[in-house]
């Protein structure tokens, strides 16, 4: 016959074994979930760059109609290229329109744009440092500030229009 004291010890051991099995089962399940999430993050499935939309926004008056960011061909040492198509909706004719894209420099000499006209601007990303790295990989996103400077023909006053360019590097 089992004494009352031995019965208590046996019951307490069973409770602690059940609690330990419960904790171990949930521990293994949580570990499996963490490994799965880690694998998804490692292989780029959870990369936020894939979910960011391409956009080109400027302050009112100038509209960014289209844009494209191209990487330099591998091993050539050539420049990457940022192409932006802008439309003048300011109600004035513009002169000396120059576009700058992040740390890539600018589009060169100024272009004239009549009211309602469109123009295409090409910005080369050359040189060392950050400019080369921003358009290096064809799988990355280009997310930089877009700077447009122009002069209104009627008043000869120069202005700057700041915006944002986010695009997948092609």
Determine contact, residues 62/87, Cβ cutoff 8 Å.
yes
Residue for token pair 């092609």: 170
- pLDDT at residue 20, rounded to an integer: 84
Q: What is the 8-class DSSP label of residue 76?
A: T
Alpha carbons 47 and 166: distance in angstroms, whole number: 16
- Evaluate whether 159 touches 149 at the Cβ level (below 8 Å): yes
Which whole-number Å values give the CA distances from 111 to 4, 83, 92, 122, 124, in the listed order?
99, 15, 14, 12, 16
The tens-digit pLDDT sequence of the chain (170 residues) is 667 776 666 666 677 778 888 899 999 999 999 999 999 888 878 776 667 778 999 998 899 999 998 887 665 556 788 899 999 999 999 999 999 988 788 888 889 999 999 999 998 887 543 344 445 555 577 888 999 999 999 999 999 999 999 888 88
């Amino acid at each position: 016959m089992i004494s009352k004291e031995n019965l208590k010890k046996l019951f307490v051991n069973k409770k602690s074994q059940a609690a330990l099995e419960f904790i171990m089962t949930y521990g293994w399940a949580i570990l499996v979930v963490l490994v799965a999430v880690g694998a998804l993050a490692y292989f780029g499935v959870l990369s936020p760059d894939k979910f960011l939309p391409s956009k080109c926004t400027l302050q009112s008056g100038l509209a960014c109609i289209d844009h494209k960011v191209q990487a330099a061909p591998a091993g050539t040492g050539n420049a990457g290229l940022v192409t932006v198509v802008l439309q003048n909706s300011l109600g004035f004719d513009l002169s000396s329109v120059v576009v700058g894209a992040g740390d890539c420099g600018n589009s060169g000499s100024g272009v004239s744009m009549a009211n309602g006209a469109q123009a295409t601007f090409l910005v080369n990303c050359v040189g060392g440092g950050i400019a080369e790295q921003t358009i290096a990989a064809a799988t990355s996103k280009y997310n930089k500030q877009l700077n447009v400077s122009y002069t209104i023909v009627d008043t000869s006053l120069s202005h700057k229009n700041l915006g944002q360019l986010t695009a997948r590097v092609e």
